[in-house]
Structure formats: C-alpha cells, structure tokens
Structure 1
Amino acid sequence: METIMLEHRNATRADLGILAALIDAAISELQRPFLTEAQIESSRQIMGLDTQLIDDGTYFVILLDSTIAGCGGWSRRATLYGSDATTGRDAALLDPVYDPARVRAMYTHPAYARRGVGRIILALCEQAARNEGFKRAELMGTMAGEPLYRACGYIPVERLVDGRGGVTVPLLRMTKRLM
C-alpha cells in the first residue's frame, strides 16, 4: 500500500473559496449513502464553515501535495455546529474546567476519503484543546462521520434531528475524554 504524506496548516480567509467547494463536495458525495437528496439539500443549510474558527486560529487544512484534501477545527466557543448562515450560533467562550471543547466543521474531499485525513484533523483538534486545558471534546456527528468518530474513541450521547434546513437531518452528539 502506498504511503501518502499529509501535511497541515491553519486555514486562512484566503482559503474560503477552496473550502466552500470542498465542503459542498463532501456534503454532496459522502452523505449520499446515509441521506436522501432532500436531506442532503437540507444539510447545506445547517452544516458548513463558521469563519469564527478561522479567525480564532483553530481551523486546519490538510494538504496532500499542496492540494487541500480536508479541513476541520475545534472551538473554545459555545456553538456545537453550524455555518456562518446557521441560526442559533453562540460565540460565548467555554470554561475548559467545566465545558468540553467543540470539534467543528470536519470535511474531507471525496477524492481523499479513507486516507487518514479525518484522523489527522481529530488529533490536531484534540491536542490543541488539551493545550488550552480542556478535559473533554464534543462534536455533532453526521451519519457519514459516525464510524470515524467511534473508531477515534468518541461515545454517542444523543441522537437527534435538525430540521432548520427544511427537512430533518439525523445527527449524533458525541463526546470523548481527552487524556
């Protein structure tokens, strides 16, 4: 099996166009085995990038030969998931003593799926959160992301649906203790 060398860096606002296309491709293709077309379209309304993550310096891009293969980040803010356009966002800062860090907006371009991109993003997020004193991490997983999150030690807490996009989309809130 060929070994691929993935690198990472912090995302910048200059990446927004590439990230938008990557996120769209990931939602369109990787959710297909789990959601109907109407649910995929609804997902576009409740998922995506919150640029606060870029501004906070907590959003990463994963590179393969200078091509962005994936992206994702973490947050010290209260919002658990959603994009700039999603209603109900909360920029309040979390207390690492009591609150879990939020793993947010993880996407892999379909051409690079199942190559370790998601694992690298999770490891980067978890280490950065640990460095800031967080003892736990929490995320809102899609059905497509659930197997990865379980494999990386995340435990389901709550199954729910989000209908803010017009059609309900199943989601899974998951948590992990950061050692």
Structure 2
Amino acid sequence: MVRKVSIRTATLHDLPRLNEIADSAVNTLLSPYFSLEQLHAANEAKIYEVDAGLVEAGTYYVGEIDGVVVAGSGWSTSGQLDSIVGRETEASGAAAMRSTYVDPAWSRRGIAALLARTTEAAASLSGFRRFESLCTPMAAAMRHKLGYQTVASAQVPYGPGLVLDLVVVRKDV
C-alpha cells in the first residue's frame, strides 16, 4: 500500500499528539538504554515533552502518514544546549536540533532522518552552518548516519540522584 508522507510546520493543536508520541517513544524505544527507574523519573519530570516555544516560533515540524501525525522534530539557537553542556551561551554558533520523536509503530522507516534533514534545511535558511544535538544513544546513532560526529558527553540531572548519560553530536555544512 502506498502511503502519503508529508512534513509541515507544527501548530499548538499538534502538541497533545506530539507529547503522546514522545511519551510512547521514550518508554518503548529507549528502554534498552535506560533503567525503569530512570524512565519513570524522566516521565515524572516531563523532560521529554515537546517545547511549546519551538512550535510558537515555527521551528518545530511534524511528519504525517496519510494525514496522521506520527513524528516531530525541531530546532532552535543553541542557548539551551550550551547551558546543559556547560559552555558559554551561543559559543558554538550552532543551531540545536531538538526533540526528535517517532511513534514506535513508525520507527526505523526513515521518518526521523527526513525530519532531521527538514530541520537542517530550515536552520540553514536562517544562516546556520553548524548543527548540534544533545542525544540519547539511539538518536545519536541516527544522527551519525546523517554525518554528525560525537563531540562531547553530558550527564543531565533530572531527579534525586538520577542523571541521563547523553552525547552531543555536531555536523558542519
């Protein structure tokens, strides 16, 4: 069956569905990488919710299959990423690739890569030539296939005594 795949700018109306996708993706796809305690604490802290500010700024995109939202990804200036990895804000001059989630029923079909290319193109049109992302191991593997290199590791605290071990990846164009 041929399906129609489309990418569009997200709207605030999409946020509930995007957060459902994020929750499902984190709890299903990341379970091999994080303990149940880490996943539970991450859910409680809501650290994987899609940033409404990205949607409001017009820098978050959704992937649809036959008109149904199945994925999302966005970008911003690197200020938030800079603060997480402990460097001077905007020091990298990079656009931060943010919050890429795919409904597990649609994972490993190229939708995340399509959204990554969309966010890169949008950031390029805004003058950025360097892209960075703070990634889980699974997301880093996908970014590596798109030409990103690991440049740092980061431990992100989010609960009493809990940290997520993540990596920072970068791509220059």
Q: Deviations over 1:23-75 (max 9, x none)?
A: 11011101011111111123333332111100110000000011111001111
Rounded Cα–Cα distance in structure 1 between residues aligned with 2:56 and 2:93: 21
Rounded Cα–Cα distance in structure 1 between residues aligned with 2:63 and 2:81: 22
Report the 3-state secondary structure (helix = DSSP H, G, I; strand = E; otherwise coil) of the residue aligned with 1:79.
Answer: helix
TM-score by length of 1: 0.85
Aligned residues: 166
Map 1:18-167 onto structure 2 (within 5 A): 18-44=17-43, 45=45, 46-76=47-77, 78-80=79-81, 99-166=93-160, 167=162
Unpaired runs of at least 5, structure 1: 82-86
Q: Superposition RMSD on alpha carbons, in Å?
A: 2.2
Rounded Cα–Cα distance in structure 1 between residues aligned with 2:77 and 2:163: 28
Rounded Cα–Cα distance in structure 1 between residues aligned with 2:17 and 2:28: 17
Q: Deviations over 1:117-154 (max 9, x none)?
A: 11011100111111111110011011121210111111
In the alignment, which of 161, 170, 173 is matched to residue 175 of structure 1?
170
Rounded Cα–Cα distance in structure 1 between residues aligned with 2:9 and 2:95: 18
Unpaired runs of at least 5, structure 2: none
TM-score by length of 2: 0.87
**8 Å Cα contact 1:8/1:61 also seen in 2:** yes
Which amino acid counterpart does residue 25 of structure 1 have in structure 2? Answer: S
Rounded Cα–Cα distance in structure 1 between residues aligned with 2:158 and 2:70: 28
Question: Cα distance, 1:164 vs. partner?
Answer: 1.8
Report the 3-state secondary structure (helix = DSSP H, G, I; strand = E; otherwise coil) of the residue aligned with 2:158.
Answer: coil
Which amino acid counterpart does residue 168 of structure 2 have in structure 1? Answer: R
Which amino acid counterpart does residue 30 of structure 1 have in structure 2? Answer: L
Structure 2 equivalent of residue 13 of structure 1: 12
Q: Deviations over 1:76-119 (max 9, x none)?
A: 351129xxxxx98xxxx959xx6100100110010000011110
